[in-house]
Amino acid sequence: MTDSLRHTPRLSAVDTLAERYAVDLCQLSPMTATAAGIAGYDTELDDLSPDGHAARADLARTTLRALAATPPANAQDRITLAAMTERLGLEIERFDAGEHLRDLNGVASPVQTVREVFDLMGRDGAEAWDGIVQRLTGVSAALVSYQTSLRQGAHQSLTPAIRQVKAAVRQAERLAAPGSFFDELAAEGGALPSQSAALGSALAAAATQARAAYGQLAGFLTEEIAPLAPLDDAVGRDRYRLASRYFLGAAVDLDETYQWGLAELSHVVADMEAVAAQLGGPGTSIERAV
């Protein structure tokens, strides 16, 4: 036995469950694998349909049950159990609430992540660019599966606010336009002296398909989702409570947090008004100072 093997620590039962969950999740969510820097999944995109989300929720449920039946062997296990129980439990809560059926906004939804995953891919060598071609070719299927979820959400009156829909449409239209990110990506790969003409052509064709897929998405959002979208941005206390836990990793007192935020905002506004008066004299508005 080599020294490296002799001194390799044995995984605990909790560690083994965590490792298995990571492997299974990467298979169900190749985009998560890419975001985590785990190689071997860079040619595919997620299934964003209700079935795809259900499969990931089922994995979370199965893993939670296994974790609950596995006693921790040490302090590290207790941390792992606490972290995974919180995250996976919240994932199931969000799934049961139908959040995946209205996952549309102008910042962090599949409209953005399907494009952004290409920023995280390696670009060194022909193999890396072959992976980019394959993933570009899969953009259409991913966005069609995404539309299936949004359509089901609309049928259940789970529709994002119109302001979010319009923002997503603008982004999709920009990505669909000639010369957008996808064409730039293809041009970058095709211009490398080490790449073959065939790969350059494949990149250009795949980029065109990806642009067309975003154009189709923009049309779908405009024609099917926008007419059903509510005018108010407010999502209500229950959804906000879930979302805040998801982003913060902790439950906070929403009323107390709002009061704190409003107080902080008033301090900022007072500082801005003071600077405006210094710049333009007493009574100068913030807008005028800008």
Rounded distance between C-alpha atoms, residue 163 and residue 124, angstroms: 39
Looking at residue 231, its pLDDT comes to 95
What's residue 198's pLDDT?
85
Amino acid (1-letter code) at residue 256:
E
CB 246, CB 91: distance < 8 Å: no
Low-confidence ranges of the chain (pLDDT < 70): 1-9, 194-195
pLDDT, position 194: 67
Per-residue pLDDT, 3: 47
Quote the pLDDT of residue 2: 45
